């Protein structure tokens, strides 16, 4: 493969429950800092069992010009900040010409939708503003960032629930490899609303055993886990052909080796081991590498009983018992549509530091999970290739392989 079809990462931007910026994300993850807390709206709803979430700290966004900010929901603001950071790290003050942009979310701003619904119920339709509509289109964050940063290449907002962020990284990878664009900004964004927690609670997928201890609420792989903790944020990576990066003389942070996606048609909410196994094997085939070359699987692993078991059993089938595996949901909670891209940024940092972050709150792996090497404490070890998984309600699955720069 030549430099024009080799895809690399040269910039990263993040907004997470640890705050704005990749540095705050990495510091929070490295220190095992707690970002989960009780949510007042949930504590007032006795029928909802979960009471905990992880949200982006309150921040003054008034520095964003009002002309730009008025068409942005919170998730649009997160995306704007992450896009600026990724562009700057990639060596750009402004978006380059014909930059591709691939970003989406699980849903659009529930807060704005509910506000609009309250207007219609009270027959106060005259109170609806143009900016309200501009914040609730399916591609609102994508369009708002394009307008704000003058991104004029192809912009596509794939939405695949919890797989959104990683799926859009895969789309960017494929777009560059096919020659559609030579550079692309890719990832996912999400904003929290208590309705997310309530809906997952109805599906019996949320954590309920640590409402009095939010820090320990999410416990991927652990025998005592009861479910996920809903979170929010945005992760964006700047991808480009290696030829483009070398011509510009910018540092290469990582290489994207391969990508694969498939759809589970057996059940909307429960993943099957067979389909997840096929997804991971597809990514390996895409990258032309063997399972033994993968040093770490950064699992989707949200802390649900069914999901953790299916994914780890599939991982054992593909890689064998010596595979090192971790999950970052115990640190961050489940940032939904942003999770795949935010966690991929953490994977790039792990490659740079040659360090595997542990799965927070994992004390005793569930005996029903696959037999693999669960990383439970920080581990300094040679890291060359990481596989990142994202699996979604609805059966959308994807796996992406990232390599340390050669």
pTM, rounded to two decimals: 0.95
Catalytic-labelled residue, pool 193, 234, 279, 334: 334
Q: 65: exposed, middle or buried (C-beta count within 10 Å: 0-12, 13-18, 19+)?
A: exposed
pLDDT for residue 125 = 60
Residues 6+ apart with CB under 8 A from 360: 32, 218, 328, 330, 331
Q: What angle do CA 230, 47, 338 make, to 5 degrees?
A: 10
For residue 355, count other CB atoms closer than 10 A to its CB: 14
Q: Do 205 and 346 share a structural domain?
A: no
Angle made by CA atoms 270, 274, 278, in degrees to the nearest 5: 115
**What is the CATH classification number for the domain harbouring 88?**
3.40.47.10
Domain holding 385, by residue range, is 259-403
Q: How far apart are CA 281 and CA 228, in angstroms?
A: 26
Q: Which of 225, 248, 271 is the last residue of a domain?
A: 248
Q: What is the mean pLDDT of each run of 10 residues along the chain (406 residues)?
A: 90 98 98 96 90 95 90 94 98 98 89 68 61 72 95 92 97 97 98 92 86 90 96 98 98 98 92 96 98 98 97 98 98 98 98 98 98 98 98 95 96
Are 312 and 333 in the same domain?
yes
Could you tell me if 234 and 361 lie in one domain? no
Known catalytic membership, residue 300: yes
Select which of 35, 146, 162, 398 is catalytic: 162
Q: Is residue 93 part of a domain?
A: yes
User: What's the structural domain count of the chain?
Assistant: 2
177 found inside a domain: yes
Structure token pair of residue 74: 């919170």
Looking up tokens 């991982």 gives 315
In a domain, 74, yes or no: yes
pLDDT tens digits, one per residue of 89-144: 999 999 999 999 999 999 887 777 677 666 655 556 666 666 666 667 778 899 99
* One domain, residues 315 and 390: yes
Q: Are both 143 and 208 inside the same structural domain? A: yes
Q: Tens of pLDDT along 311-345?
A: 999 999 999 999 999 999 999 999 999 999 999 99
Q: Is residue 320 located within the same domain as residue 180?
A: no
Neighbouring-strand partners of residue 173:
none
β pairing state of 36-38 and 19-20: unpaired
Q: Are residues 287 and 372 in the same domain?
A: yes
Residue 203 lies in a domain: yes
pLDDT at 138: 74
Domain boundary among 202, 225, 248: 248
Residue-level pLDDT at 269: 84
| pLDDT for residue 210 | 64
Active-site annotation holder among 35, 218, 300, 369: 300
* Joined tokens for residue 289: 């590498």
- Which of 248, 277, 300 finishes a domain? 248
268 and 376: one domain? Answer: yes
**Does 76 share its domain with 138?**
yes
Q: Label residue 150 left, alpha or beta by phi (over 0 means left) and psi (-120 to 50 means alpha).
A: left
8 Å CB contact between 166 and 388: yes
Query: Is 213 in the same domain as 280?
Result: no
Same domain, 226 and 263: no
384 is catalytic: no
Q: Do 83 and 214 fall into the same domain?
A: yes
Catalytic residue flag (residue 334)? yes
């Amino acid at each position: 493969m030549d430099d024009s079809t080799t895809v690399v990462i040269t910039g990263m931007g993040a907004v997470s429950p640890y705050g704005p910026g990749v540095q705050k994300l990495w510091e929070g993850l490295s220190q095992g800092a707690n970002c989960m807390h009780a949510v007042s709206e949930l504590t007032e709803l006795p029928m909802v069992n979960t009471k905990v979430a992880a949200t982006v700290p309150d921040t003054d966004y008034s520095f964003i010009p009002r002309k730009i900010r008025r068409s942005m929901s919170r998730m649009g603001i997160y995306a704007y900040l992450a896009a600026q950071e990724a562009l700057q790290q990639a060596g750009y003050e402004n978006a380059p010409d014909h930059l591709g942009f691939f970003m989406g979310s699980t849903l659009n701003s529930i807060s704005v939708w509910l506000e609009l619904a309250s207007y219609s119920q009270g027959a106060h339709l005259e109170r609806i503003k143009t900016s309200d509509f501009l914040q609730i289109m399916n591609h609102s964050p994508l369009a708002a960032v394009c307008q704000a940063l003058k991104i004029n290449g192809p912009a596509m907002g794939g939405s695949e629930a919890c797989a959104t962020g990683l799926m859009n990284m895969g789309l960017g990878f494929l777009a560059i490899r096919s020659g559609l664009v030579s550079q692309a900004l890719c990832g996912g964004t999400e904003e929290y609303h208590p309705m997310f927690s309530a809906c997952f609670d109805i599906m019996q997928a949320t954590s309920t055993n640590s409402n009095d201890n939010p820090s320990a609420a999410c416990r991927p792989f652990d025998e005592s886990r009861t479910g996920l903790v809903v979170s929010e944020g945005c992760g964006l990576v700047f991808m480009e052909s290696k030829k483009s990066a070398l011509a510009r003389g910018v540092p290469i942070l990582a290489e994207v080796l391969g990508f694969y996606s498939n759809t589970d048609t057996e059940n909307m909410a429960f993943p099957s081991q067979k389909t997840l196994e096929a997804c991971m094997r597809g990514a390996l085939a895409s990258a032309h590498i063997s399972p033994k070359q993968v040093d770490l699987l950064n699992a989707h692993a949200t802390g649900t009983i069914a999901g953790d078991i299916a994914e780890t059993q599939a991982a054992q089938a593909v890689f064998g018992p010596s595979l090192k595996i971790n999950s970052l949901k115990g640190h961050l909670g489940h940032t939904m549509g942003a999770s795949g891209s935010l966690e991929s940024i953490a994977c790039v940092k792990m490659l740079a530091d040659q360090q595997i972050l542990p799965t927070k709150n994992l004390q005793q792996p569930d005996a029903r999970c696959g037999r693999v090497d669960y990383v439970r404490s920080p581990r300094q070890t040679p890291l060359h290739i990481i596989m990142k998984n994202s699996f979604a309600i609805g059966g959308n699955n994807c796996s992406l392989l990232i390599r340390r720069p050669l």
